[in-house]
Amino acid sequence: MRAEAELLCTGSELVSSKVNLYSPLFAARLRELGVALRGERSLRDDLPLITRSIREAMASCPLVITCGGLGPTFDDLTRRAAARALGLRLRSSPECAAELRRRYALDKLPPNMADQAVILEGARAISNRNGTAFGQVVRRGRRMLALLPGPLREWEPMFGDGLAEEIVSFFGLKPGTVLSARLKAAGLKEVQAERLLRPVLRAFPGADFTILAGADEIEFGFTVSGRTPALAIRKLAAVKKAARRTLGAAVYSETGEGRHQALGRLLRAGGKTLALAESCTGGLASKLMTDEAGSSDLFLGGTVAYSNASKTRLLGVPQALLERHGAVSAGCAAAMARGARRAFGSDYAGSVTGVAGPGGGTPEKPVGTVFFGICGPRGVGTHKAFFRGTRDHIRLSSANRLFDLLGKIIE
């Protein structure tokens, strides 16, 4: 039996106006256990549809996981659908009821909460650290069905609280025999990375690879399996070594961190501080630098100098320079970086000014033209780049490139 799973997410919002963020999260959790996610369904709150989907998925896939629809309200249908699909009854679990009474210090459960203790007959309940809906795992012959609540903070801890164990024992997986890793590489496009990595893919035919395009970066993920944990570790190291050799200095992380995080790590290690001056990115680079809590140790602040007047007033960019070369120029980028370093009193400062589009391009400076200034104790340098894509993509690529440039001068 191949260790494969299908995911069923319920909720009408998922097929009307909300993006389903869960596939990659479940895929990652399952991959760690050695299980491949082969498909995902998003289903509106529709009892016959959910019932049929569980039945279909279980007819061909050994492990089916549902997510959502376990609450006590009218549109929470998954338990009923699972009971119909498997021909099982729903029954109130005395253990679950006792756990809820204990947790909420109640002598008697109100009806809504009593309903949460109703589970499939024969199912094992999994406690919910952050909600009242129990997870449930039930085996039927050579199949396993797991029902999980919808919120991430409710289902994710369940992997550690018994679900992972159930899955590993169901498939008879040997812990440590399936291993994954990833490399992030800066400044590469997806097609370039595919071309570069083709020999690596050929050299390891049993491994599983993904190349994901980001903004001015790619992520190369790979999963290997070995008969023993030692063999798996050795194979993983071999793939990683080959990929690193191929991608060279472009590799900036083995942990999946973003480039703002890699830069934060470098700054923290050296006890250095940073300030930013942004034009076309409009605050995005500062926003990224402050995504992590505790960034105030290393990030002093930034100036979003969107108008020309603010470049002069706040960053001291000479008006004559703006008139002669325009705001999108190496000279302006250099002056902005110097101005930010001075204004904030930081060790390092970076600046970005460009044409994010969709309008505003000229033949000399088409949409996607971006200049960077990088300023540190040894002076200021500039860099020019050109990015293709939407306004969002150009802005994020610009911020990422700026972080990369800054990382290279930090000592």
Contacts to its own copies from residues 285-314, by CB under 8 A: 285-291, 293-296, 299-307, 309-310, 313-314
Task: Check if the beta carbon of residue 115 is closer than 8 Å to that of residue 72.
Answer: yes
Cα distances (angstroms) measured from residue 260 to each of 117, 186, 382 = 45, 12, 19
CB of 181 to its own copies, least distance (A): 13
Cα distances (angstroms) measured from residue 409 to each of 40, 302, 404 = 44, 19, 9
For residues 121 and 119, what is the distance between their CA atoms, to the nearest angstrom? 6
Is residue 394 within the footprint of its own copies (CB under 8 A)?
A: no
Could you say which residues in the range 187-226 bind its own copies, by CB under 8 A?
210, 212, 219, 221
The smaller minimum CB distance to its own copies, of residues 39 and 318, is found at 39
Q: How many chain residues bind its own copies (CB under 8 A)?
A: 76
- Which residues are within 8 A (CB) of 324 and not within 5 positions of it... i.e. 6 or more apart? 331
- Contacts of the segment 93-100: beta carbons below 8 A, 24+ positions apart: 93/117, 93/118, 93/119, 93/125, 93/134, 95/125, 96/125, 96/134, 99/127, 100/132
Is residue 20 within the footprint of its own copies (CB under 8 A)?
A: yes
Cα distances (angstroms) measured from residue 13 to each of 10, 20, 131, 146 = 9, 9, 21, 22
**Which of 33, 37, 148, 197 touches its own copies by CB under 8 A?**
37
Give the bridge partners for 92, in sequence order.
Answer: 118
Is residue 2 within the footprint of its own copies (CB under 8 A)?
A: no
CB of 322 to its own copies, least distance (A): 14
The smaller minimum CB distance to its own copies, of residues 225 and 303, is found at 303
Cα distances (angstroms) measured from residue 169 to each of 83, 162, 203, 360 = 24, 11, 32, 59
Say how far residue 151 (Cα) sits from the centre of its chain: 16
Is residue 62 within the footprint of its own copies (CB under 8 A)?
A: no
The smaller minimum CB distance to its own copies, of residues 126 and 394, is found at 394
CB of 272 to its own copies, least distance (A): 14
The smaller minimum CB distance to its own copies, of residues 213 and 238, is found at 213
Stretch that binds its own copies, among 78-86, 132-140, 195-203, 354-362 (CB under 8 A): 354-362
Could you say which residues in the range 263-282 bind its own copies, by CB under 8 A?
275-276, 278, 281-282
Could you say which residues in the range 227-266 bind its own copies, by CB under 8 A?
none
Is residue 348 within the footprint of its own copies (CB under 8 A)?
A: no
